[in-house]
Structure 1
Amino acid sequence: MSSIVLEDKDRQMQNHAVIMLASGLSQRLGQHKQLLVKDGELLIVRMIRSAVSTNPQAVIVVIPDKHPAIASVVTELALQYPAVQAVVNPKPETGMADSLRLGIESIASLGNSLIERVLIMGVDQVLLDQSHLTALLAGEQSVVASSYHSWTYSDELSATEPKNIIGLPLVIDTGLLRQWQTELTGDKGLRHLIRALPPSQIRTVINKQLSYDIDTPAQLAFAQKKGWLDQHSERI
């Protein structure tokens, strides 16, 4: 009976893996955004559960070294969800590119030919919901990315025009991601590479709520005022 249940579960798995970029040091924020709390649950836990719910072949969570509280949380979830695997970034201060490269290498090391696409996501877009991930994964282009505007941390209109952002979370063809691996440097990530693609290879899914990520104390205070994050947060 148990083998039948396992086979059914495997049949439901999709043709993608997830790379979760969670190794940021949150220096501008002054505390680790991974351990902020939303509805009584750590933000990194909510994001990992969201990733798992897409039925991926694997969830690679890239975390910073020398931060046992973050490592402990991910290790505990890996025991609960076999698809989850923690990868430690020994140089988290060097920027997003190193974390992304580690994630790409980890997926390649799995040797799983069923992984045709990779969902890349962060941990601090506090209004990200499951329907958006589903919409991204439903696209068939080489890159299916999120589209939203920069935000100004207040209820008042900003004097500056908000920038249009094409960014995370996004889904990308595995072959294209491997092709771009050597071009990832510093904090640039994939954005400049995606912009160079012909329009036929890109689809965007608009979601204004993704504007609200947490990088500064002002952004955190705004999110807490709105009730998007709990007033209490874990510190390490």
Structure 2
Amino acid sequence: MTCDSFKLASTQLKPTSPLRRSNHAVIILASGLSRRLGQAKQLLYKAGEPLICFMTKLALSTKPQAIIIVIPDNQPLIASAMNELAFQYSIIQMVVNPTPKTGMAYSLTLAIEAVTQLTSSSIERVVIMGVDQVLLDEQHLAKLLADKRSVVASNYSSWQHSNNRNLNETTTANASTQNIIGLPLTIDYGLLKRWQAVLSGDSGLRYFIRELPPSQVSTVSNKQLSYDIDTPEQLIHAKQQGWLDEQY
């Protein structure tokens, strides 16, 4: 199970062609164990390829200096799915989280450490993203990078599911109950390094962002980011909508 040949019509990225890179790196947090879903969300299929490959190609479209992908230990299928892209693009580096149960913050700490060890880099900003926001697109990432404030986060509502209501109805009903400021986001690299030592659990970064002055934080709204894949019901709905491939 590997990524298909990389064809992004909008950017025409080619491994043999020099790319003009910007001043950012991308961290993809992909070490979740998908317990509620019951299968590895990294290996769900979108547009004929594993979701982790699809998201990596989105990251490549921003022309970063580096892409750090954190994957869980003892998941060889996830690692092998990325082998082709990692071979084609030297800027892609995979980092294994040996203890994915400890939460997202440890994955982020490992990724930050990998960024700090890059040589000959001039990284000023970092894009942090996950793998399961299946409607994320290049345009949203471009908007995040266009704003130069210390933190530029995504703004969307939660997608909740109740057994006695369909997903669309539940989404509408709960749109005003939980407004999320979260991934993907861009952050000043110096700020991220400063917070590295004190990150913990699943919400450490969000806590520190809340402490920043409002003038340093901006958001980009995108209701489509509500649709992440955490449960079997959400997966079924995503396939019914054509957001994910039905045959896998």
Picking from 185, 199, 219, the partner of 1:204 is: 219
Give the gaps of 5 or more residues in structure 2: 1-13, 162-166
3-state SS in 1 of match to 2:229: coil
Does the Cα contact within 8 Å between 1:78 and 1:84 map onto a contact in 2? yes
Q: Which residue of 1 aligns with 2:54?
A: 46
Displacement of 1:182: 1.5
3-state SS in 2 of match to 1:126: coil
CA distance in 2, matches of 1:6, 1:40: 21
Displacement of 1:179: 0.7
1:43-192 map, 5 Å? 43-153=51-161, 154-157=167-170, 160=174, 161-192=176-207
3-state SS in 1 of match to 2:239: helix
Displacement of 1:18: 0.6
CA distance in 1, matches of 2:16, 2:217: 34
CA distance in 1, matches of 2:103, 2:154: 21
1:7-22 map, 5 Å? 9-10=18-19, 12-22=20-30
Identity across the alignment (%)? 61
Does the Cα contact within 8 Å between 2:15 and 2:88 map onto a contact in 1? no
Q: Which residue of 1 aligns with 2:7?
A: none
- Please give the root-mean-square deviation of Cα atoms over the aligned residues, in Å: 1.8
Q: 1:49 to 1:6 in 2, by over 3 A?
A: closer
3-state SS in 2 of match to 1:155: helix
Report how many residues are paired: 228
Does the Cα contact within 8 Å between 1:23 and 1:63 map onto a contact in 2? yes
Q: Which residue of 2 aligns with 1:30?
A: 38
Q: 1:156 to 1:137 in 2, by over 3 A?
A: same
Give the gaps of 5 or more residues in structure 1: none
3-state SS in 1 of match to 2:25: strand
Does the Cα contact within 8 Å between 1:75 and 1:86 map onto a contact in 2? no
Does the Cα contact within 8 Å between 2:135 and 2:227 map onto a contact in 1? yes
Q: Which runs of at least 4 in structure 1 moved beyond 6 Å after TM superposition?
A: 5-8
Displacement of 1:113: 4.1
Does the Cα contact within 8 Å between 2:15 and 2:89 map onto a contact in 1? no
Displacement of 1:9: 2.4
Amino acid at match of 2:115: I
Q: Which residue of 1 aligns with 2:4?
A: none
Q: 1:6 to 1:20 in 2, by over 3 A?
A: closer
Displacement of 1:75: 2.3
3-state SS in 2 of match to 1:190: helix
